[in-house]
Structure 1
Amino acid sequence: MLAAGLVALASRTAAQVASVCPTTDVCFKLNIPENTASSGNGDIFFQLSAPATYNWVALGQGSSMSGANIFVVYTAGNGNVTISPRLGTGHSMPQFNSDAQVALLEGSGVSNGKMVANVRCSSCNSWSGGSASFSGSNGNWIYATKQSGGAQDTTSQSANIDEHDNQSTFQWSYANAKGGNSVNPLVNAGSSGSGNTSGGSGGATTSCVPRQAGAVGTGTATKGTTTGGSSRATSTKSVDQDDDSSYGRSTTSPSGWTRPTARPTGNSWEGNDKRASLEERQTINYCDENDPSNTGFTPVASDGGDNSQKMLIAHGVLGALAFVIFFPAGAIAIRLASFTGVVWFHAAFQAFAYIVYIASFGLGVYIAGEEDYLSEAHPIIGIVVLVVLFFQPILGLLHHVMYKKHHARTAWSHLHLWLGRVAITLGIINGGLGLQLANDAPRAGYIAYGVIAGVVWLVWVAAIALGEKRRTRAAKDAHLANAGHPAAGHYAPKENGT
């Protein structure tokens, strides 16, 4: 019995827990067990800690949101938290990943204004869209928070979450995270080594622990574990309960603690006297007792997310200008205007609109490639429209030449007219699909685009109908007057009746 206790205590002591705190309120911890570190794959343990008033906090593996293995934590209500594994897909809400093998462990819950999730991940070495090895010296991680909006208070792992208001990519050093084989090195344990994140040159370190007041949580190794309970401890000292006979899982609750919402797995204790003989009390170095200016967090390319967002906004604005303003305006002018040279004004204006769209298209292709969107309807329609519009100047020139020759519309005329109408309509619709794909615009943005684009499209269609009516009337008047067809072949109804 004494030998078993010494073995368990040695395992606990050897566990390395690295900590990083991007802000004074948000901290993450990581342990890579010895077996995982030596083989490169296996279980890892990490902790997320943030104010319980936050809408959510997330930690993810990867260098960008696209393709990242993300773990979102939010309050579940009644002092519990929910862990929601998700797959990053770029500038859209990450979707729940039912294949992830994660479990909340003891210590998870809400206490003293903090939500804490102690997580065991058994599938973090590989996921759909990426992989990671834990035998190296460091790894790329991302984090994000949503401070506003209030607590989620839901047990749904697929709950809708609003866009983050704070995020960054960072490189986490594994040097101080490797060691030990405890089944829960995070509960009530100070960092064995100071965590380090770097942007290539290293950063400051921290070995503090977010205050969690001995919260007790749930834990199983199977999929679908969603919530962890919380309770309040009566001491700021930790109680080590690891034991070989129970695989380190305590199945009894110390006096004054409430039971977890789901009992941890493992063999039961034979008696409280065994547990008492293995207690190890140690003083915890809480983060709120330290100088918050030195948190050991140095982001990698911290403005990358901002640049990506700027490109996304520029893509949307340029595309909207092209199809909601410029293309319809040029088409309306050729239908209703009658000044000399209106045809060349139309051609120049549509060419300008096409250049604006090319700029939007270039940004869109880059974003789609980075975020793996090329198979979505929005970029596919964008490519089709670009190709169609490329031939419009050629078709327009053929229409103009053939009209001058035959004094009537030809097949080239109808092809030019109808391809243009289809392209503009598709472009307007595709703008809405782009907003839907980005999934980060406020509801008012969707409504505003829909109303403005809809009104412009109706005005454009009305201009087409009015222009055709004028053309028909002009042709009839010309026939009655036995007048010849104009040589210019212009579209404008008052001049030529096209």
Structure 2
Amino acid sequence: MHFPFVLPKMHFAGFLTRLPLALLAVSLCGLTQQHAAWAQDSPDPMADGGSSADQDSPDPMGDSGSGSSADQDSPDPMGDSGSSAGQDSPDPMGANIPSAVYTTSALTAGSSNSSNDFVFAVNIDSETDDVYFHMSSPSGNDWMGVGFGSKMMDSLMLIAYPSSNGTGMTLSPRLGKGHTEPEHTDEVSCEMIYNSDLPGANTVVESTDTLKVDAVCRNATSWSTGKLDYKSSSQDAMTPFIFAVGPGEHGHAGPGSGHLGLKSNSKSAGLERHEYYGHFNLDLSQAVSESTSKAGVPRPNSEDANDLYTSVHAGGNGKVTSDGDPAPIIHGFIMCLTFVIIFPLGALILRLLERVILHAAVQFIGMILVTAATAGGIVVSRLYVRSKDFATAHQILGILLFIALWFQLGLGILHHRIFKKQQRKTLMGKIHRYLGPVAVLIGIINAPIGFHLAGNSHLGIPYAIIVVVVAILMLLARRFLPRFFGRNRRRKQASADARAAQLRAEQGEGYQYPQFGQQSTGLAPNTHTGYGGPSAASYEHLGPPPAYGRTESYRSEDVPLQTYGGEAGVQHPRPTL
């Protein structure tokens, strides 16, 4: 150890007087060396811009602000924009952040877990027009969303759903175009906020089955089609909002019901139609922060529990409407029924029964069903962003199939009319024979493509099983039923022959042509006919019939012909013999 000074040469008395000062200097140097050693082994408490009094305290800078903390348990006075000294310490500014909160338990009626109610809490920074918010809903639904305004048209919507890993959340700002799927917009930029006193922020919380989002949307009080007029909001003139949750295990809502759920990192991910939706109002004048330092995500405000929200500065009747979209289900069911069962059954009827009219009737019924399902599919396609342009493989194949099936029907009718009159095969008949099976096969393949488009890819496996079973049954019927119908035809023919024989036996042989065989007159058989009996020479003595021997005219050629429908002419008596 090196000392910063050297004891001077002195008398013993002087040495005694300076000895306490020397000992004090040695002690200070030792403490300095020990402090330097501690600094090498411990993290720099100022690395993030703050200060700390002990080794175990977390980063005092929190999320985005600046500040300092004296110990681990001290609260963060800045809320979101400030700093946090410990993960377990609540933010004392959370309760002081101005906010308006709406909650409803209508989505989970009958549930004892109030932590997964739908919640929307908002705070607005008047300096920057940034919108801070907390939103949560039951995780059984695919997505959750809030819209600024009283209707979907021109509304700015904040929609959140699980990310691709199933544990995080994706936040997507979108614009409403009417009663259709909203489209992602880049007009508004949103950022998720993580803070120690926001437990489970921006995650799928399995313990409470809840989706949670804590975020800020920059300059989000105005957009191209509207604005959030928070400055004129009041208790008597609250600002309207809409909200909705997507389909899921809680309900019966359309194509998404019971499927694997939406998980995506894309802000343009396709959404299924909402299962529940509703309206509420907020007094935003109570949710405005005058400065950025006092703005942030509203913290739980319940007096009963630290992690729950209760409605404040909110209004509305609390009515939540159950909704769904059965049209995709109806479209898919009818198409699968027609291509897998009805069309193959119609072809089988023609092969086994040879009943052309019955075959045509069954196929025509199938065409009516396909036409109705196609019309429904076109209407549904216009409701979703991914299908409104009719550019997907399922839609292109479907339209081509629809045209081909009507062409197939026309070919069948024309061929039947020609064959019925001329009893000959036609080119139209050959095309009809092969176009039908090809169209049915493409229709069967197009169904799983439609399942994927609708977000129901899991239906492909049971559908494939049904198709295989039906195909096996059709092949067995094609193989063995002709024998059965052939035996029936032989039985019917034998029965008809037996009845005819019995009828002849009961009524006799009927009219008998004259028999000119050997007669008692002793005349020889005719040499030309082979029959016995009188020959033509036997009647020569009788002469010709009277008409053949007459030489005079009957004078009937002078009688005028009477035109049908005209006036009667002069009547002449008919000649008599």
TM-score range, shorter chain: 0.5 to 0.7
CA positional deviation for 1:186: 2.4
In the alignment, structure 1 segments of 5+ residues that lack a partner are: 37-41, 191-207, 214-285, 469-498
Task: Give RMSD over aligned pairs.
Answer: 5.2
Paired residue for 1:330, among 346, 351, 368? 346
Q: Deviations over 1:83-103 (max 9, x none)?
A: 3124899xxx99999996322
CA distance 1:43–1:143, change in 2 (3 Å): farther
CA distance 1:43–1:375, change in 2 (3 Å): farther
Q: Where does residue 32 of structure 1 map in the other structure?
A: 124
- Asked if structure 2 preserves the Cα contact closer than 8 Å seen for 1:58 and 1:73, the reply is no
Is 1:188 the counterpart of 2:307? The answer is no
Paired residue for 2:380, among 343, 356, 367? 367
Q: Deviations over 1:43-87 (max 9, x none)?
A: 322102457x868763354849x996521258999xxx7331248
Is 1:168 the counterpart of 2:276? The answer is yes
Paired residue for 2:102, among 16, 20, 25? 20
- Asked if structure 2 preserves the Cα contact closer than 8 Å seen for 1:85 and 1:96, the reply is no
- Asked if structure 1 preserves the Cα contact closer than 8 Å seen for 2:133 and 2:216, the reply is yes
What is the distance in 2 between the residues matched to 1:72 and 1:415?
51
Q: Where does residue 133 of structure 1 map in the other structure?
A: 227
What is the distance in 2 between the residues matched to 1:142 and 1:430?
32
**1:264-343 equivalences in 2 (<5 Å):** 287=309, 298-299=318-319, 302-303=321-322, 305-306=323-324, 308=325, 310-338=326-354, 342-343=355-356
TM-score by length of 2: 0.47
Q: Deviations over 1:294-318 (max 9, x none)?
A: 9967356x23x32x1x222222211
Aligned pair count reads 340
Q: Where does residue 226 of structure 1 map in the other structure?
A: none
What is the distance in 2 between the residues matched to 1:135 and 1:145?
31
- Asked if structure 2 preserves the Cα contact closer than 8 Å seen for 1:147 and 1:165, the reply is no
Q: Which amino acid aligns with 1:83?
A: M
Is 1:104 the counterpart of 2:193? The answer is yes
More displaced 10-residue stretch of structure 1: 395-404 or 135-144: 135-144
What is the distance in 2 between the residues matched to 1:67 and 1:422?
47
Q: Which amino acid aligns with 2:277?
A: T
Sequence identity of aligned pairs in percent?
Answer: 23
CA positional deviation for 1:347: 0.7
Is 1:179 the counterpart of 2:288? The answer is yes
In the alignment, structure 2 segments of 5+ residues that lack a partner are: 1-76, 83-92, 106-113, 231-238, 251-259, 483-577
Is 1:43 the counterpart of 2:130? The answer is yes
**1:24-423 equivalences in 2 (<5 Å):** 24=114, 25-26=116-117, 27-34=119-126, 43-49=130-136, 58-61=144-147, 63=152, 69-72=158-161, 82-86=168-172, 101-106=190-195, 107-110=197-200, 116-122=212-218, 133-135=227-229, 137-144=239-246, 157=265, 167-176=275-284, 179-181=288-290, 183=292, 184-188=295-299, 190=301, 211-212=305-306, 287=309, 298-299=318-319, 302-303=321-322, 305-306=323-324, 308=325, 310-338=326-354, 342-372=355-385, 373=387, 374-404=390-420, 407-423=423-439
Q: Which amino acid aligns with 1:364?
A: G
Is 1:448 the counterpart of 2:462? The answer is yes
CA positional deviation for 1:323: 1.0
Q: Which amino acid aligns with 2:460?
A: Y
Q: Where does residue 269 of structure 1 map in the other structure?
A: none
CA distance 1:126–1:141, change in 2 (3 Å): farther
Structure with bigger gyration radius: 2
CA positional deviation for 1:413: 1.2
What is the distance in 2 between the residues matched to 1:211 and 1:166?
30
Q: Which amino acid aligns with 1:379?
A: Q
SS at match of 1:101: strand
What is the distance in 2 between the residues matched to 1:324 and 1:67?
44
- Asked if structure 1 preserves the Cα contact closer than 8 Å seen for 2:98 and 2:123, the reply is yes
CA positional deviation for 1:456: 3.3
Q: Which amino acid aligns with 2:245?
A: Y
TM-score by length of 1: 0.54
Higher RCO (Cα < 8 Å, 6 or more apart): 1
